[in-house]
Amino acid sequence: MKKLIRITTVPVSLDKLLGNQLTFINQFYEVTAVSSDRKELKRIARKYGVKNHHVDMTRKISPFKDLVSVWYLYLFLRRQKPEMVHSHTPKAGIVGMMAGWLAGVPYRFHTVAGLPLMEAVGMRRKLLNGVERLTYRFATNVYPNSFELHNVILREQFCVSDKLKVLGQGSSNGIDTSFFGRDQISGEKLSKLRSKLGILPEDFVYIFVGRLVGDKGINELVCAFKKLNDKNTGRNLKLLLVGNLEKALDPLKKETTKEIEANHDILTVGFKDDVRPYFAISDALVFPSYREGFPNVVLQSLAMEVPAIVTNISGCSEIITQEHNGIIVPVKDESALQQAMERLLIEPLLYAHLKETSRKSVEPYEQKMLWEALLAEYRLVTGDGNT
């Protein structure tokens, strides 16, 4: 059986971005997961039944540490002699593609699921642009996980078009609608969760799922929610934040953090391994991110019959059709965000339509279809129909 190395910077990306895709592909190739955090990596590898190998990597810009990571990964690849290396996330991309090239791995794949550099300026932007171009140069194939991201890569001249391909309809892993469904969560569990969080039946709950950082639009979201709540719309409103507050990279404004802590209508629950119950007690997803590739959160929300308010960025604008399964607003536009949130309160017919169409709209992104497309791509590129 041919060897395939799947690389992410941190193990949680293996779990949340790929998950059971690892188990599926492991039926056809001998998969080894490579990431940092040895203990967590082993846990996730056991969870999905694949081999693992630990290499220290950092998400920060750190040239010396990155070269050390490249060296240790290079040594591992030289010993293993895999046919394929497939990286995800920016740092794992440059480390994995460079090490794979140095080690002579024939097929070097990199999936692009967003470009952090799009919010960078000055020398930082130039540096990140250079790293991105270098990553794609070392790769034999590059897979943007959305069509708009594909266009951005060409527009920025990061890569020649011959290397680029969007698999299926986009997304890194698709959506498992048999798992993300309201019928999977018992009424008793939802009742207990509402009681625990202090959410009343008449409350209208906006939910955000993801890292609580500036680039996710949390500063604008908290301000928009506060103003809408202060406006006295005649409804009891709650904002449910599901995700970790990150202070090291891209921290929130101090006033935003203070408002989150002081506002009793803003509920924070931290990172949750299973977000389905939180979607199930919510009425609308608000996802005002500045940049994405193809956000799984939006797919999950729609599959749970929760309409979404998103920004007009790659991925989001491909999943959401305006006033069909959600509402699209401009990036960093707090006023437009507030107006969209209010529309769901004061236009019941619109809200009912969005809710009715949400789940059906994710059918093109069914997970198994994406897995089959990835397997077909591996076989096509390697010229191997019998792995």
The domains found in the chain, sorted by start residue, are 3-174+366-382 (3.40.50.2000), 182-363 (3.40.50.2000)
Per-residue pLDDT tens digits for 86-140: 999 999 999 999 999 999 999 999 999 877 666 677 888 888 888 899 999 999 9
Count the Cβ atoms, other than its own, within 10 Å of residue 243. Answer: 20
Tell the burial category of 32 from Cβ atoms under 10 Å away from its Cβ (0-12, 13-18, 19+). buried
CA proximity to 33, closest of 66, 10, 67: 10
pLDDT exceeds 70 at position 291:
yes
Q: Please tell me the predicted confidence (pLDDT) of residue 387.
A: 44
Read out DSSP for 116-168? GGGG--HHHHHHHHHHHHHHHHH-SEEEESSHHHHHHHHHTT-S-GGGB---T
CA proximity to 136, closest of 101, 173, 170, 167: 101
Per-residue pLDDT tens digits for 45-95: 999 999 999 999 987 778 889 999 999 999 999 999 999 999 999 999 999
Q: What is the spatial distance between Cα 187 and Cα 184, in angstroms, rounded to a whole number?
A: 10
Q: What is the pTM of this model?
A: 0.85
Q: What is the spatial distance between Cα 377 and Cα 361, in angstroms, rounded to a whole number?
A: 25
Say which DSSP state 174 is in. -
Amino acid at 364: P
Q: Please tell me the predicted confidence (pLDDT) of residue 69.
A: 96
Name residues whose C-beta falls within 8 Å of residue 129's C-beta, 6 or more positions apart in sequence: 117, 156, 158
Q: What is the spatial distance between Cα 305 and Cα 360, in angstroms, rounded to a whole number?
A: 9
The mean pLDDT value of the chain amounts to 94
Q: Which helix (H) or strand (E) holds 109?
A: strand 107-112
pLDDT exceeds 90 at position 369:
yes
Per-residue pLDDT tens digits for 336-358: 999 999 999 999 999 999 999 99
| Residues 282-306: b if buried by 16+ CB within 10 A, e if exposed | bbbbbbbbbbbbbbbbbbbbbbbbb
Contact of 319 with 287, CB cutoff 8 Å: no
Q: What is the spatial distance between Cα 101 and Cα 241, in angstroms, rounded to a whole number?
A: 41
Say which DSSP state 56 is in. -
